[in-house]
Structure 1
Amino acid sequence: MSYLNPSEFVVKMIDAGESKVFMSTRDTVIRAYMAGAILSLSAAFAVTVAVQTGSALVGALLFPVGFCMLYLLGFDLLTGVFTLVPLAWIDKRPGVTLKGVLRNWGLVFAGNLAGALTVALMMAVILTFAFSVDPDQVGQRLGEIGASRTVGYADHGAAGMLTLFLRGVLCNWMVSTGVVAAMISTSVSGKVIGMWMPILVFFYMGFEHSVVNMFLFPSGLMLGGDFSILDYLVWNELPTVVGNLVGGLTFVGLTLYATHARPGTGRARPIRADVGVPAEVGAAR
């Protein structure tokens, strides 16, 4: 069968988290760099499609191609390791420490950021002929996204910060669901279908993904967006990272772990005195 039941794929989740803790620094950074770069290209692709077709839905429908590619190639996003790696520590796998979890998160963050910045610079050069002309429609849209999703939140103060945080939570609820959905199947087609659905939801709904934003906002700054680096960090990236951590770990990692890896004690079934079998079985007869 190409399908794994929950008790099986949750073990895969814990095993994956454990393997990432013990991965070498070199491999962790390389895989994170490539993940950030591929996801950034996918974001640029989706924005281009949305601008040229006038349909945000079409862009969202096509965006998951990058996520599927990087996952199948074994690369790592910060959103994914937020969910998987702590499970190995919670499960008390030998040698897995909180320090090891934080080390992985730090390396993946750095690698994702480097990959995203690389693509941001490349796209800024492409869209302006090496900064010799004004940005085209796609470049202008990238600048608008950066402004609306930084100072746009800041204009609402605390309410804006709460909205930003919750969009980060909801984002990684969906993205980490995509990561887990890929583990449910052992076939490439099954993995792709499983990943595509929740990634489509997050992107079309405008939820905040820390790694996608590592591309969108730096490229927006390069293309003349009306916001600053401080705006980006305070009013997007840092709250989004926290929201992504809470969303992925709470609504995906811990919930699946609690109910499938460490399920509670089942309630005793009532026994029918007349036939000596559980009541529901007797009723079925």
Structure 2
Amino acid sequence: MKLYKAGAAVAAAVALALTATACGGSGDKASGEAGSSGGAKKDKVVIGIKFDQPGIGLKTPDGKFTGFDVDVATYVAKELGYQPDQIEFKQAISAERENLISNGDVKFVVASYSINEKRKAKVDFAGPYLIAHQDLLVRADDTSITKAEDLNKKKLCSVTGSTSAQNVKEKLAPEADLKQNAGYSECLTALESKAVDALTTDNSILAGFAAQEKNKGKFKLAGLSLSNENYGIGLKKGDKELQTKINAALKKMVSDGAWEAAVKTNFGPAGYKNEPAPQITEGS
């Protein structure tokens, strides 16, 4: 009788352990955490970035990632408990950022992601962490475009899903012939070949392209401030805990000097004049 009771107790303990193991997994596809109890190790975190924006987020031919957003993402991930080798970067093109977040394909997105009300209806943001201004990139020898209105009757390029193109088309130059591509690299090729007359997006992104060794002397910034773009970190709607943690990480990045160092490293060679680090407004 005692042996039966002991056997039953062992079986119950095994069943309980199996149940606990089955319930301990995270349903978040992008976090890869093994569990939250007993100091369980976090396997990886998936972060959405741009792959084609020099100075912001660029995947180099050797498979490495560089840019200001990459530095911000890496810093935030570290504060969340992830080392660089635990980060998986996933391409987040402009038109797919909300879907990547909502579907759980990424934990968060750091991809020159301007905060606006339309996007906030679908996702939440932490930050902002950078203020940029929409500008135009034109060929170095082009003197015909000095203001936004000069784009009327001219060919303007931007990427699908970008707020910059819509701002020009709807408010500044309604007669501009807008061409939209999947990435900025295609726009830059079209600009160099004279298939388009200008490329529009944020000055931080344009400065990154203009500063590339292969592009030096080919292009110039028009020097316009067509809009204010507050870059935020996109995350799943309603995840207040993650929003609070990311905001804390951004504040620490500014206070310990890492933010300023990242600005100088990624934008300094292009002569980019950045605004001071903005105050955190999202989630407050």
Question: TM-score normalised to the size of structure 1?
Answer: 0.25
- Name the one with the larger strand percent: 2
- Larger Cα-atom Rg: 2
Question: TM-score normalised to the size of structure 2?
Answer: 0.25
